């Protein structure tokens, strides 16, 4: 099968690359290993950290490219890398290009940024595609979009209104198919086809060769679903606990890039988060704690529970006695988890499976869990809560801490029965992958590009290194470098 462009994977970065390539007249095929399109991106909130666009201006935000540069300069090594500068310069152009097509509609998605640094925008600068109803989509498009995580894991179909990542995938897929693009599901790409030193296609597990004469763009997630690669690279957590759909992002295609000579970077990093352990064993991305305390296996708190999830995940990864952790909460909310867990699961099932433990007093709960310091920890925290100051970890000081609670972030645990939920270390994907240049080209350790090979999304090493600047950073960078790859492929001198 011969095409101009082959896109490997079908998350946000992949589909934006495919859409832009097809729109510019290149015959483009998307290859997806599962029978559904969208990957983890379809589970996501669809928030994109794309600073300085018209969308933020329309919303009247104090956002600008300059402001975002100051913010990033406070976090990342300076001067900022070429890729970060390209990201800043290209974000507004990309969103304008997408908004010129009726298939796309973007809006501000209020959600605080993750660091208190110069240039931070109150309530955040992230944007997301507007919701779209299923009946506005061609039926074959609606049927292909991977359902939200809680429904997908339960084997259920998607909702009638597609929001967040669902809307991102649905809108982009709709536009790509409308423009004549091809999607082949159940196509697991295992290697590249190289001729005269140039990548000109891929081979699949089924033995097909699919050619992309002008370029192959890899946007097939990271290696979060592969325990062997995780431990070889020192990524904390486990494949069992990742949020990526089961059996998807296993990283062999990154390894195949490495075998071609690609440089790799940030291979020990992931977009971490606390994961509510599920009765059947997986982890559920949890954020927005509205009460309770997280303790280690000694029954001691070790961080501000309201930290941005990636920062809390890094705290969890900081000591072996934090995995699993126990999140101890009271029954102020009727026995449900005072946090947002995707999915939360049924409290009765948790109690039956032992992932949650319940008792009438904290002392009894401590005994059941075998945690010596729990009573002391809860008493100390309750004193802080009553005084309004967390003297140990400063919980409730930052805008992010209070976003989910309306300001009452320090809440004493005093309504029995008390519950402890087991938490593992989950992630939204790994951050390490093939190193790309400012055109999205995969490069060798000496910086020379591998002709014909491009990468973005979590298949490429994150341009933000160890940092997670704000909501939508994974998708924001993925979309911009998808666009850069297509710009390079379509540039006249590369035709």
Ligand X SMILES: Cc1cc2nc3c(=O)[nH]c(=O)nc-3n(C[C@H](O)[C@H](O)[C@H](O)COP(=O)(O)OP(=O)(O)OC[C@H]3O[C@@H](n4cnc5c(N)ncnc54)[C@H](O)[C@@H]3O)c2cc1C
Site residues for ligand X per CB under 6 A: 8-14, 31-34, 39-41, 43-47, 149, 188-189, 219-221, 243-244, 248-249, 253, 271, 285, 342, 428-429, 457-458, 471-475, 478
Residue 269 phi/psi, 5-degree rounding, is -110, 150
Smallest distance from ligand X to CB 202, Å: 8
Token output for 428: 């939204």
Smallest distance from ligand X to CB 21, Å: 16
Smallest distance from ligand X to CB 121, Å: 16
CA atoms within a 13 Å half-sphere pointing along the CA-CB vector of 387:
12
Measured from the CB atom, is 31 or 378 closer to ligand X? Answer: 31
Question: 274: which residues sit within 8 A by CB, 6+ positions away?
Answer: 286, 287, 294, 309, 312, 313, 316, 325, 327, 423, 425, 426
Smallest distance from ligand X to CB 413, Å: 27
Q: How far is CA 229 from the centre of its chain?
A: 19
Measured from the CB atom, is 25 or 157 closer to ligand X? Answer: 157
CB 394 within 8 A of CB 249: no
Measured from the CB atom, is 355 or 458 closer to ligand X? Answer: 458
Strand partners, 162: 132
CB 229 within 8 A of CB 251: yes
Measured from the CB atom, is 145 or 243 closer to ligand X? Answer: 243
Q: How far is CA 216 from the centre of its chain?
A: 23
Smallest distance from ligand X to CB 118, Å: 23
Q: Which residues of 25-42 are buried (b: 16+ CB within 10 A; e: fewer)?
A: ebbbbbbbbbebbbbbbb
Measured from the CB atom, is 46 or 396 closer to ligand X? Answer: 46
Q: Residue 339 and residue 471: Cα distance in Å, rounded?
A: 17
Smallest distance from ligand X to CB 429, Å: 4
Smallest distance from ligand X to CB 460, Å: 9
C-beta atoms surrounding 260 within 10 Å: 17
Smallest distance from ligand X to CB 34, Å: 5
Smallest distance from ligand X to CB 99, Å: 19
Measured from the CB atom, is 212 or 299 closer to ligand X? Answer: 212
Measured from the CB atom, is 75 or 243 closer to ligand X? Answer: 243
CB 375 within 8 A of CB 363: yes
3-state secondary structure of 322: helix
Measured from the CB atom, is 33 or 300 closer to ligand X? Answer: 33
Measured from the CB atom, is 396 or 440 closer to ligand X? Answer: 440
- Element (DSSP H or E) covering residue 452: strand 449-455
Q: Residue 323 and residue 274: Cα distance in Å, rounded?
A: 10
Query: Is the Cα dihedral 408, 414, 419, 424 positive or negative?
Result: positive
CB 338 within 8 A of CB 289: yes
Token output for 10: 């079908």
Smallest distance from ligand X to CB 87, Å: 13
Measured from the CB atom, is 3 or 248 closer to ligand X? Answer: 248
- Element (DSSP H or E) covering residue 424: strand 418-430
């Amino acid at each position: 099968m011969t095409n101009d462009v082959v896109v490997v994977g079908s998350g946000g970065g992949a589909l934006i690359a495919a859409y832009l390539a097809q729109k510019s007249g290149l015959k483009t095929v998307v290859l997806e290993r599962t029978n559904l399109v969208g990957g983890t991106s379809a589970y996501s909130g669809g928030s994109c950290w794309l600073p300085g666009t018209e969308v933020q201006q329309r919303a009247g935000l104090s956002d600008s490219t300059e402001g975002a540069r100051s913010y990033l300069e406070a976090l990342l090594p300076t001067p900022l890398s070429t890729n970060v500068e390209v990201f800043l310069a290209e974000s507004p152009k990309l969103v304008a290009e997408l908004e010129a097509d009726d298939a796309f509609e973007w809006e501000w998605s209020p959600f605080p940024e993750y660091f208190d640094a110069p240039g931070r925008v109150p309530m955040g600068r992230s944007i997301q595609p507007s919701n779209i109803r299923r009946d506005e989509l061609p039926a074959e498009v609606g049927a292909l979009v991977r359902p939200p995580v809680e429904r997908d894991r339960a084997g259920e179909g998607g909702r009638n209104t597609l929001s967040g990542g669902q809307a991102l995938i649905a809108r982009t897929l709709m536009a790509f198919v409308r423009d004549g693009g091809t999607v082949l599901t159940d196509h697991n790409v295992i290697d590249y086809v190289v001729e005269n030193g140039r990548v000109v296609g891929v081979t699949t597990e089924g033995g097909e060769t699919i050619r992309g004469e002008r370029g192959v763009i890899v946007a097939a997630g990271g290696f979060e679903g592969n325990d062997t690669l995780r431990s070889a690279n020192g990524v904390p957590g486990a494949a069992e606990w990742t949020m990526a759909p089961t059996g998807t992002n296993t990283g062999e295609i990154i390894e195949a890039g490495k075998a071609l000579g690609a440089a790799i970077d940030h291979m020990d990093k992931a977009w971490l988060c606390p994961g509510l352990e599920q009765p059947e064993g997986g982890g559920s991305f949890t954020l927005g704690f509205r009460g309770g305390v997280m303790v280690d296996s000694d029954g001691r708190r070790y961080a501000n529970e309201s930290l941005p999830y990636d920062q809390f995940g890094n705290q969890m990864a900081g000591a072996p006695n934090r995995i699993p952790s126990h999140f101890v909460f009271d029954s102020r909310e009727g026995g449900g988890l005072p946090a947002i867990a995707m999915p939360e699961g049924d409290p009765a099932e948790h109690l039956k499976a032992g992932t949650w433990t319940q008792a009438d007093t904290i002392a009894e709960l401590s005994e059941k869990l075998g945690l010596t310091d729990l009573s002391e920890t809860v008493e100390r925290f309750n004193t802080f809560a009553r005084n309004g100051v967390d003297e140990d970890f400063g919980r409730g000081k930052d805008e992010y801490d209070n976003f989910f609670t309306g300001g009452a972030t320090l809440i004493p645990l005093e309504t029995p029965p008390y519950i402890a939920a087991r938490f593992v270390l989950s992630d939204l994907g790994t951050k390490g992958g093939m190193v790309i240049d400012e055109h999205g080209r995969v490069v060798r350790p000496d910086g020379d590009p591998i002709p014909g090979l491009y990468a973005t999304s979590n298949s490429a090493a994150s341009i933000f290194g160890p940092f997670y600047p704000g909501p939508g950073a994974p998708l924001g960078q993925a979309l911009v470098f998808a666009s850069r790859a297509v710009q390079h492929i379509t540039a006249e001198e590369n035709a």
